[in-house]
């Protein structure tokens, strides 16, 4: 995310937490009192969110000083110190939860992504994210995927062409019996090639659809919820007749089966779980010195 968008996200989160109206802190801690705090990791994993720590606290109080001890993408251990913060204690306490929420979420995404990348690493298969992201936080979560070693799929609907069955149904190319009108499909394909230079990806749900679509030479074919046997079959067919087309496995991919899926011959695997269901890493902020 660019700095302007990132700042808006941060401002929204700070406003949501009403950091300027922290009743507890404002009643207990004198406004001018200064001190130091430290952010500590409570889990091991892949850290993500370095810049956010800086921006969040500076948004509350520009005079706060922050010493960041890790880089995005670093492997962190339990009880490892992440950052030292010094300045007015009211400001430090006000930004505590927002900061921890962000780095917990993003480090969780990076750690989950990295787990898939490591498991698939021997086969050199790309791990891609999806659009199954937290509303309003897609840019950050997709950045966390990159930090974890994954690849970004399209950022939004404008960022790429992926033709799914609902598109073909809406266009009258697939009927209620899942039958394809090839005359209409050929006309659509010619129209797309005239209107855009963007790579075209098509989702298919079985090997029959795969063989029908591959003859149109899309740049990428998404193999949705294919069995392991059919993934291998599709990859072998592609290798023999259409070696330049990329195959992407999708649907039902977990950390338990990613090695098996990666060994089928596909080029990439899209994994929704790395953004929509990754487990957050735990961090704490402790007042270190007053």
Residue 290 reports pLDDT greater than 80: no
pLDDT given for residue 179 in this prediction: 80
Cα-to-chain-centroid distance, residue 36: 33
Residues 111 and 155 in one domain: no
The domain total for the chain is: 2
pLDDT in tens, 145-161: 999 999 999 999 999 99
Residues 237 and 209 in one domain: yes
CATH of the domain at 9: 3.90.1170.20
| DSSP H/E element including 170 | helix 165-170
For the record, the structure tokens of 269 come out as 């695997």
Question: Which residues face 269 on adjacent strands?
Answer: 127, 249
For 188-204, what is the mean pLDDT? 95
Higher pLDDT, 180 or 120: 120
pLDDT in tens, 28-55: 999 999 999 999 999 999 999 999 999 9
Residue 1 reports pLDDT greater than 70: no
Residues 73 and 130 in one domain: no
Residues 203 and 91 in one domain: no
pTM tops 0.75, yes or no:
yes
CATH of the domain at 260: 3.20.20.70
Residues 127 and 266 in one domain: yes
Residues 102 and 198 in one domain: no
Residues 132 and 231 in one domain: yes
Residues 76 and 156 in one domain: no
With beta carbons less than 8 A apart as the criterion, state whether 104 and 283 touch. yes
Residues 138 and 73 in one domain: no
Range of the domain at 209: 123-276
Confidence of residue 131 (pLDDT cuts 50, 70, 90): very high
Q: Tell me the percentage of the chain whose pLDDT exceeds 70.
A: 99
Residues 110 and 199 in one domain: no
Q: Of the segments 153-157, 170-174, 237-241, which one has the largest average pLDDT value? A: 237-241
């Amino acid at each position: 995310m660019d700095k302007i968008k990132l700042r808006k996200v941060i401002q929204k989160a700070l406003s949501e937490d009403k950091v300027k109206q922290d009743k507890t802190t404002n009643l207990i801690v004198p406004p001018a009192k200064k001190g130091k705090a430290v952010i500590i990791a409570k889990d091991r994993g892949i850290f993500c969110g370095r810049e956010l720590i800086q921006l969040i606290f500076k948004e509350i109080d520009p005079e706060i000083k922050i010493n960041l001890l890790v880089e995005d993408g670093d492997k962190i251990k339990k009880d490892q110190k992440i950052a030292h913060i010094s300045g007015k204690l009211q400001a430090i306490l006000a930004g505590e939860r927002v900061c921890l929420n962000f780095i917990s979420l993003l480090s969780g995404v990076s750690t989950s992504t990295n787990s898939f990348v490591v498991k698939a690493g021997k086969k050199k298969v790309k791990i891609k994210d999806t659009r199954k992201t937290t509303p309003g936080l897609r840019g950050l979560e997709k950045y966390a995927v990159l930090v974890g070693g994954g690849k970004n799929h399209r950022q939004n609907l404008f960022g790429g062409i992926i033709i799914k069955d609902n598109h073909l149904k809406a266009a009258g190319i697939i009927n209620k019996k899942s039958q394809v009108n090839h005359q209409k499909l050929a006309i659509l394909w010619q129209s797309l090639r005239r209107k855009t230079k963007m790579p075209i990806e098509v989702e298919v749900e079985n090997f029959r659809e795969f063989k029908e679509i591959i003859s149109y030479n899309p740049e990428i074919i998404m193999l949705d919820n294919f069995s392991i046997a059919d993934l291998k079959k599709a990859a072998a067919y592609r290798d023999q007749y259409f070696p330049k087309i990329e195959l992407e496995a999708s649907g039902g991919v977990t950390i338990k089966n990613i090695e098996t899926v990666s060994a089928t011959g596909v080029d990439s695997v899209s994994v929704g779980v790395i953004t929509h269901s990754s487990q957050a890493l735990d961090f704490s902020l402790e007042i270190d010195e007053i």
